[in-house]
Structure 1
């Protein structure tokens, strides 16, 4: 039977329920969002003379929840217009509508009695064969389906989304005692392909996989912080980006999630896992109990481990909690000699060997925390899962770890991991020693481009399932590399398609990256069929190498700078006018030059989570790698008969002038940096390179021909330039922009108007590129531009001067 999900019902509209509803709307599914009917009128309703029978009152809870979710930042929805896919209602008037949906998802309060009551009511209207799942984070699945019909139990299981549902990729699927295996298989595939998740089938154990390991890791730190006499700043410094964890690290993450949420899960594990060998660790330290009593729960109550206050002159200041006195104090800077030793190690996983060898408090911290983590995860198999890779997948997708526990253990060395465990009085599970005895020295290996993981029952390395839809560049790089320099690696993806993978810091685009890109195009035109530009780093590219531009400008090497900018422009034009199809695969931050490259490819296969825009104004210049030209061209291509062409051009001008950045790939179409009918979106970033390869193959097999260079770009000349100059004058006079902002905007205006031509004229792309480059160079001679670039290089944020 082929199962398709066209509509879902989400029962419960709290933060989690509304978030899940929004994410299904993101992928084009019609959503019915239901909640309870209010028991009494609020003051506004009383003032309007409404009654409890009025529809607006009966749907107040669900409508207020959804409205709050749609206003929240970061947004749970890719594009605000997608909210029209969500219909709201209540559990009395609208419950019969669940009989028309393909999947019912329960997201009500975490109380078994309430959940069972909801399921009893839903079963009266549910159509046989309809999927029905619970988003519980810890209540045993087998308790919830007791007393329900066989058909209900056959199609029932847990589907645990992590909050926020749009951004966190973990999707735990927990079977009940009678769940049909075909249901699990379907949900596993649906989560990965359509919801863009990392699907993990877990056992029905307390807190499942992600929270069991994640909460252990946090509770371990809570107990260790006093033992090592550490501040919360020190712990957050050591448990953040340096080891591939989120910037919020440990204590800031708890503030964001809510201390009460963490305590609820920790208490659940403590109560329901009496045989856990680290059971005592889930008992709350005294300082946590005090914080709970004081309602210091984090962001939701205005204070937790950190507290925002207004300091002198109204300046916002963040205070930290002293765990010894439980008073707030000024934040202290944390620094460790061991961390200094990792600054030159760009690849996070390679830092762990250095970190555990540290001779200071940081080294001790890493040895203790990792020893505890390694011992704990090894002992959770087979209790919470039979497969070690599922634990790694859960921690990466649910907690934002760049590497899972077993991957980190591999990086340190399995035997070294056992050594630091024993030094802490801990032992790994017996199967780890059995693995070493069987001749496997690591948990993972790579073979023929696929990841293999140690299978404990089989005592051998077995292929991790679900990889067939992916191309994992880390796995194929060594065997498929056809060219490499300091900026890129070019890989043969097979079937006549090459891939250019940026390897520079933050994937910035400098001379080596451009040289590698041109070399890849040369190779593809000679011996291959197509080219993909894609990587699997955190971000596609944050733009051009502004450090290089700054050095040339400071040294007044304007001829060299002119050549460098022309090289960038020429490389973008090669992307567009090569004899083979070129596909860009942007994701994450795709800014400045990364956006320009995407715009010049034949097609873009874009991850839904792509934050894209031309942001050069922030460093005092205009887009100089073809971006200004391209926005003028795209505006001209949208001119229609009877259009007010100036208004169309102005929209594109403002997109660049205001340095607008999309908050999703869908918004990038609104900005004009992606094109409908040309560019496509994938929800699961893991599928992106494979999908881009398919597009390149299809274009090549369909008889791709090199496009002719454009000489028919309509520019509006003086009439557009005059309008823009009047606008920038008035904005400066009204103090919306600075004098230097005005200067940059006027340079952009000159380029996008096509200069001061006396009338609308057809020009070539090269004409626009030449005046774009001239404008860019002139701005690089300005002291205020150099100040902006220097500030960005030093502080990582724009300067307004």
Structure 2
């Protein structure tokens, strides 16, 4: 396979999707031109410029750092079209109108470079029909590339070839999408709405049809079809509101217009309630009303009988909650046989989707794996529909589905295909260690062997495969109830440490395990990587890396010895962080998801950090009434000295401490790995990875590279200049204004003051020289003193009981 180096990308269309695709490419440090029509008034690039400016205001944020919007190059088709020749990938993302797209293609195709890939980000139009009129040479480089909204956060990208698309073009694009911008790629057949929208929208239509049949409210259905089923919290109707009811209506119409012979065609009728909402301009979240409407602080839900919004809050019955906690086979049996409308509804919507994917698998996808991964990554389901079917017992579910079809209870009279009921699938299910079932090839198709996937030590797992389990994989060196230290192959020279605690919190047992792993690595291996199996959850974002110190584990010591009883644990934490920092082998932390409090301090003391782009770092102890005491404030002081020394300004340390103080005192958490770098939690030399499945591989390579260069730990600093009492006074003066203006509480003022004291070296003269132990002692003392206060104890108990910070 020839290698295509995508140095620059053009995105055609500065609408919602086009601008956000451009933003995510900039996140990945890929230069981008964003094209749109020339403006009729003002600057010719006004349309693209407005879209770029709007990216800074959107939530969730499309950009890792909003200031990076400056790197998107605005362009228009009149002045800049010749610049397309400099782009290696051109992505069209204009409105879903075949005629508009063809008009644009006529304009741009003469300017596309002869080696460039041309792709359409359509959500469901025929890729083959879009390519009509192209030269054979351009047809060979054209395909569909369907990002899901919002592109930064949604893991799925569907790649759709035509019969003319060269295979190596698809391989090159899949490699780029997987590794450079971190996506889960599924190849779809060129059928209306491809895989995820085809099955996902059918699922929504089935929910609407069955909800009406069983007389269920929209909010009742959302409580039944969201987190309880392992799906997105927004469930069905909230998701539709977020996506946009006009968008949903368009996708449904694509199915109406293009699938007249489909045995489920009658289901593709736009539901009257949806049709009425769209006609009234109630398009969901973007217009403030759809199936739901916000009324002040209250959320109202539409009553379809009266077309009025009423108070929400309808829930699943307690019986249903109990049924859904049962093992899969028992759960489906109870849902089918229980005389309860909510149970009957849930069985019906599962049956309808099972029926649909069985009938349509051969026409929409190469194999069952692509259907399951598309739905998981594109719609946020924990399990794909084929996985749910297989987990519950393939043959029994198939028998029940066919019985319902024969009894006229299903949404179509089409029988289940023969491969469902007889042969290898009936015996094994659709997912096996050989691969996943392809009806067209009549075999189990193995996973892609593209070289890019060699970096994924653990690929997205499927129920039915007995693939590598990251909790047991490889050779275990030692394992306790708190940690596992292991090698991913017999020949590996890097020790991997994974935590086993809830949210990967750090208690005495985890600290002991870390120290033991470092001892072992120093004796027999070349490095340590700290990596959590939870990074792989559902693709991206992963996590948590660590939610911080384990307060529950420390509570017995507090109950027996009061605040002073905690001090040995704090000292042990600090000592372990120093052991990490000064180990004679490199210690690399592979972070994804949250790394808060002690988890963040663990990163700060690591030799190097490899961070997934969706990493959320921060010292947040003020939320439980404490100061960071695992060496995080000490590290801030050391980094301030390092930065000040670089510009010969150690007489003005406060300037270099200010940002770190604000981060800790305001419990700021980075919104991305790039923001964590800007905040100082990651260094410029730390590596940012876009595909969470590559995190472990890259971290191991970084540890090995450090070892190969003759790694030696940093020398212990014994003469650290500090900002002293004058800087503390300056910080406290600003805190007084915030306290007196009621922006912070009296207790916040007290905690922030103690943070300032620890960072500035305590009540000593500016420029005084201290050592690391002095700074650590200040952290410990502040931690213990605050733990002895009633308000801090209230905050800790509130967090343990509710998971939410108490402001007092």
TM-score, normalised via structure 2 length? 0.90
1:616 pairs, out of 615, 621, 626, with 621
Q: Which residue of 2 aligns with 1:274?
A: 260
Name the CA shift for 1:504/1:249 in 2 (closer, same or farther; >3 Å): farther
Q: Which residue of 1 aligns with 2:462?
A: none
2:723 pairs, out of 710, 716, 739, with 716
Residues of 1 paired with 2:32 and 2:661: CA distance? 37
Name the CA shift for 1:103/1:263 in 2 (closer, same or farther; >3 Å): same
1:636 pairs, out of 623, 638, 641, with 641
Alpha-carbon shift at residue 796 of structure 1 (Å): 3.1
Q: What does the per-residue CA deviation read over 1:565-613, in whole Å, with 9 as the maximum and x for residues that have no partner? A: 2232223222222232211111122222221111111111100111111
2:748 pairs, out of 741, 751, 755, with 741
Which region of structure 1 is more displaced relative to structure 2, 351-360 or 131-140? Answer: 351-360
How is 1:666-705 mapped onto 2 (pairs within 5 angstroms)? 666-677=674-685, 679-705=686-712
Residues of 1 paired with 2:595 and 2:774: CA distance? 26
Alpha-carbon shift at residue 441 of structure 1 (Å): 4.6
Residue 493 (str. 1) matches residue 479 (str. 2): no
Residue 573 (str. 1) matches residue 582 (str. 2): no
How is 1:308-457 mapped onto 2 (pairs within 5 angstroms)? 308-310=294-296, 316-337=297-318, 340-341=321-322, 354=331, 357=334, 359=338, 363-422=343-402, 424-425=404-405, 428-436=416-424, 439-441=427-429, 443-445=431-433, 452-454=435-437, 456=439, 457=441
Contact 2:419 2:425 survives alignment (8 Å): no
Name the CA shift for 1:275/1:344 in 2 (closer, same or farther; >3 Å): closer
Q: Which residue of 1 aligns with 2:207?
A: 221
Q: What does the per-residue CA deviation read over 1:268-292, in whole Å, with 9 as the maximum and x for residues that have no partner? A: 1122122333222222233222222
Residues of 2 paired with 1:336 and 1:780: CA distance? 42
Alpha-carbon shift at residue 196 of structure 1 (Å): 0.9
Residues of 1 paired with 2:623 and 2:324: CA distance? 27
Q: What does the per-residue CA deviation read over 1:327-368, in whole Å, with 9 as the maximum and x for residues that have no partner? A: 2222215243356548999xxxx7786476455555444432
Q: Which residue of 2 aligns with 1:475?
A: 469
Q: Which residue of 2 aligns with 1:798?
A: 805
Which region of structure 1 is more displaced relative to structure 2, 634-643 or 773-782? Answer: 634-643
Name the CA shift for 1:437/1:407 in 2 (closer, same or farther; >3 Å): closer
1:535 pairs, out of 532, 539, 545, with 532
Residue 78 (str. 1) matches residue 64 (str. 2): yes
Instruction: State the number of aligned residues.
Output: 771
Alpha-carbon shift at residue 59 of structure 1 (Å): 2.3
Secondary structure at the aligned position of 1:329 is classed as strand
Name the CA shift for 1:405/1:344 in 2 (closer, same or farther; >3 Å): closer
Residues of 2 paired with 1:279 and 1:229: CA distance? 23
Residue 245 (str. 1) matches residue 234 (str. 2): no
Q: Which residue of 1 aligns with 2:168?
A: 182
1:196 pairs, out of 182, 189, 205, with 182
Which region of structure 1 is more displaced relative to structure 2, 366-375 or 84-93? Answer: 366-375
Q: Which residue of 2 aligns with 1:6?
A: 7
Q: Which residue of 2 aligns with 1:15?
A: 16
Alpha-carbon shift at residue 100 of structure 1 (Å): 2.4
1:778 pairs, out of 743, 768, 785, with 785
Contact 2:527 2:707 survives alignment (8 Å): yes
Which region of structure 1 is more displaced relative to structure 2, 434-443 or 387-396? Answer: 434-443
Residues of 2 paired with 1:258 and 1:336: CA distance? 29
Residue 757 (str. 1) matches residue 764 (str. 2): yes
Contact 1:23 1:165 survives alignment (8 Å): yes
Residue 656 (str. 1) matches residue 664 (str. 2): yes
Residues of 2 paired with 1:276 and 1:502: CA distance? 50
Q: Which residue of 2 aligns with 1:585?
A: 590
Residues of 2 paired with 1:436 and 1:510: CA distance? 49
Residues of 2 paired with 1:388 and 1:442: CA distance? 6
Q: What does the per-residue CA deviation read over 1:125-156, in whole Å, with 9 as the maximum and x for residues that have no partner? A: 22323221111111111111212222221211
Residue 61 (str. 1) matches residue 56 (str. 2): no
Secondary structure at the aligned position of 2:96 is classed as coil
Residues of 1 paired with 2:250 and 2:152: CA distance? 23
Residues of 1 paired with 2:146 and 2:324: CA distance? 37
Which region of structure 1 is more displaced relative to structure 2, 202-211 or 640-649? Answer: 640-649
Residues of 2 paired with 1:492 and 1:342: CA distance? 40
Alpha-carbon shift at residue 432 of structure 1 (Å): 3.0
Alpha-carbon shift at residue 799 of structure 1 (Å): 2.5
Which region of structure 1 is more displaced relative to structure 2, 177-186 or 520-529? Answer: 520-529
Contact 2:52 2:69 survives alignment (8 Å): no
Contact 2:758 2:779 survives alignment (8 Å): yes
Contact 2:226 2:232 survives alignment (8 Å): yes
Q: Which residue of 2 aligns with 1:138?
A: 124
Contact 1:174 1:201 survives alignment (8 Å): yes
How is 1:81-120 mapped onto 2 (pairs within 5 angstroms)? 81-120=67-106
Residues of 2 paired with 1:60 and 1:356: CA distance? 59
Alpha-carbon shift at residue 514 of structure 1 (Å): 3.1
Secondary structure at the aligned position of 2:158 is classed as strand
Q: Which residue of 1 aligns with 2:538?
A: none
Name the CA shift for 1:500/1:414 in 2 (closer, same or farther; >3 Å): farther
Residues of 1 paired with 2:153 and 2:192: CA distance? 24
Residues of 2 paired with 1:80 and 1:798: CA distance? 27
Residues of 2 paired with 1:142 and 1:131: CA distance? 15
Contact 1:252 1:306 survives alignment (8 Å): yes
State the Cα RMSD in Å.
Answer: 2.5
Alpha-carbon shift at residue 175 of structure 1 (Å): 1.3
Which region of structure 1 is more displaced relative to structure 2, 693-702 or 203-212? Answer: 693-702
Q: Which residue of 2 aligns with 1:546?
A: 551
Residues of 2 paired with 1:343 and 1:739: CA distance? 46
Residues of 2 paired with 1:277 and 1:102: CA distance? 42
Name the CA shift for 1:356/1:362 in 2 (closer, same or farther; >3 Å): farther
Residues of 2 paired with 1:523 and 1:428: CA distance? 57
Which region of structure 1 is more displaced relative to structure 2, 784-793 or 300-309? Answer: 784-793
Contact 1:381 1:388 survives alignment (8 Å): yes
Alpha-carbon shift at residue 528 of structure 1 (Å): 3.0
Q: Which residue of 1 aligns with 2:446?
A: 462
Name the CA shift for 1:632/1:509 in 2 (closer, same or farther; >3 Å): same
TM-score, normalised via structure 1 length? 0.91
